[in-house]
């Protein structure tokens, strides 16, 4: 897990963010920042942006996801004090032969990051539609005090790659 948006501020704030970031699961991956597009121009501080990130599914080789999320600029964004909104879009695709590294549970977290200093996080979770042999990825944000219904879903039908038949995702459910 990580807290995005902390680009300045006091040492105490940085230490707190580092502590919160260390609370994530071992081996958590850092997303690849692909590109950004400014949405609100600010003359003296960083602009508000939409940022596209890429991640690989850590348990399912051959599947990659891209998500776009807004990042606040301005003074609060620069100091890491702005709470990012929950509007996140998601797209996942098969990018090679699918290889399951281990069994997984329906709704298991693939990637997670903090969206505010304390109360909100964004999570990408994975499931399997056994009947259609399709992986399903959902991104959502939650809040400890007040939930957020905003979410996005993407599906990856498991297809042959070259001459290899696709694995059955249902065979890898716990």
Residue closest to 16 by CA, chosen among 130, 137, 116: 116
Read off the pTM.
0.75
Name the pLDDT band for 80 (thresholds 50, 70, 90).
low
Q: Is residue 52 part of a domain?
A: yes
CA distance 64 to 57: 6
Is residue 19 situated within a structural domain?
yes
Q: Which domain holds residue 53?
A: 11-172
Domain tally, the chain = 1
Banded model confidence at residue 103, pLDDT cuts 50, 70, 90 = very high
pLDDT of residue 132: 97
* DSSP per residue, 63-123: EEEEEEEEE--HHHHHHT-PPPPS--EEEEEEEEEEEE-S-B-TTEEEEEEESSSSSEEEE
- Could you tell me if residue 4 is inside a domain? no
**6 within some domain:** no
Residue 27 resides in a domain:
yes
Write the pLDDT tens digit of every residue in 129-143: 999 999 999 998 876
In a domain, 2, yes or no: no
Rounded to whole angstroms, how far apart are CA atoms 67 and 109? 15
- As a whole number of angstroms, the distance between CA 98 and CA 134 comes to 11
């Amino acid at each position: 897990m990580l807290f995005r948006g902390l680009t300045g501020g006091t040492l105490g704030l940085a230490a707190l963010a580092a502590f919160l970031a260390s609370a994530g699961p071992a081996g958590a991956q850092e997303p690849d920042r692909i590109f950004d597009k400014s949405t609100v121009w600010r003359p003296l501080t960083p602009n508000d942006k939409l940022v596209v990130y890429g991640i690989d599914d850590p348990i399912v080789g051959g599947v990659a996801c891209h998500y776009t999320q807004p990042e606040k600029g301005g003074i609060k964004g620069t100091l890491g004090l702005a709470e990012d909104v929950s509007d996140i879009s998601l797209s996942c695709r098969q990018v090679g032969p699918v290889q399951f590294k281990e069994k997984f549970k329906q709704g298991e977290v693939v990637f997670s990051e903090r969206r505010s200093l304390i109360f909100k996080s964004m999570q990408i979770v994975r499931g399997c539609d056994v009947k259609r042999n399709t992986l399903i990825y959902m991104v959502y944000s939650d809040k400890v005090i007040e939930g957020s219904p905003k979410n996005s879903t993407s599906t990856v039908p498991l297809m042959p790659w070259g001459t290899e038949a696709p694995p059955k995702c249902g065979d890898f459910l716990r």
